[in-house]
Amino acid sequence: LFRQPESSHLGECPICLLPLSLDTKHAMMQSCCSKLICIGCCCASIRYEVVKAKMIKNRSCPFCRQPEPETAAEIEHYKMKRRKANDPVAIQEAGKRCYHDGDYERAFEYFSKAIDIEAGDADAEAEAHYCLSFMYRDGKGIGRDAQKRVYHLEEAAIGGHPKARHDLGVHEVYQGRIERAARLSSYPPT
C-alpha cells in the first residue's frame, strides 16, 4: 500500500509502450478490443491509412486491425462481444455506463464481476475497486458502508490508482492518522 506503483492504473499504450497519461483525453478506448491507445498512436494509424494507403473509409483499429465500427449498433455489438469474452476492461466500462445512467444495481454487478475475473487486467481491477468505493461512499444501489469503501480504496491504491491514493490519504487525515496519510502521498514513499 505504501510503495509507489511502477505505473499508473491505466498502464501503457499497447503499441508504443509509453505510459498512458492520467488525463484520459489523451487516449482512446477501442470498442473492438477494449484497449486504451494513446492519441499519438491513434493519429499515426489514421495518418498512415489516409495518407499512405489512400483509405479514407474502412479504417481499422490500430491494435487489433478490426474494421472501425461505423454505427452505434456496431460499437455496441463489439462491446457486448468483449463482455461475453469476460474482458475485465469492457465489463468495468459497462459498469461505468450503468452507473452514469442511474442503474446502480447493474453497475455494482459489473464492477464486482470485473474484480472477480481470475485472469483479470490489474488496471481494470484497480478502476473497478475505485468505482465500488464511490458506490459504498454514496450508498447508491447498495447501502453505505465505510469499511467496504476503505477496503476498495486500499485495493485500488495498491493497484496504482492515484485518485484512490489521494482519497485514502484524505480518509486517514480525517481519522487522525497524519503520518499514514503522508506516507500515502509521498513521492517516493518514505
Question: What confidence tens digit (pLDDT) does each residue in 153-180 have?
Answer: 999 888 888 888 889 988 988 888 888 8
Least confident range of 1-5, 39-43, 151-155, 167-171 = 1-5
Mean pLDDT over 68-88 rounds to: 87
Q: What percent of the chain stands above pLDDT 70?
A: 85
Distance in angstroms between the alpha carbons of the first and the last residue of the chain: 12
What span, in angstroms and rounded, lies between the C-alpha atoms of 139 and 35?
Answer: 31
Selection from 54, 60, 61 nearest residue 14 by Cα: 61
- The answer to whether 33 touches 70, Cβ cutoff 8 Å, is no
- The answer to whether 53 touches 45, Cβ cutoff 8 Å, is no
Per-residue confidence at 188, pLDDT binned at 50, 70, 90? Answer: very low
Mean pLDDT over 33-39 rounds to: 83
Residue located via cell numbers 485514502: 168
pLDDT of residue 103: 93
Q: Tell which wins on pLDDT, 156 or 28.
A: 156
Q: Tell which wins on pLDDT, 110 or 118.
A: 110
Cβ density class 101-127: b for 16+ within 10 Å, e for less: eeebeebbbbbebbbebeebbebbbbb
Q: What is the pTM of this model?
A: 0.75
Q: What percent of the chain stands above pLDDT 90?
A: 23
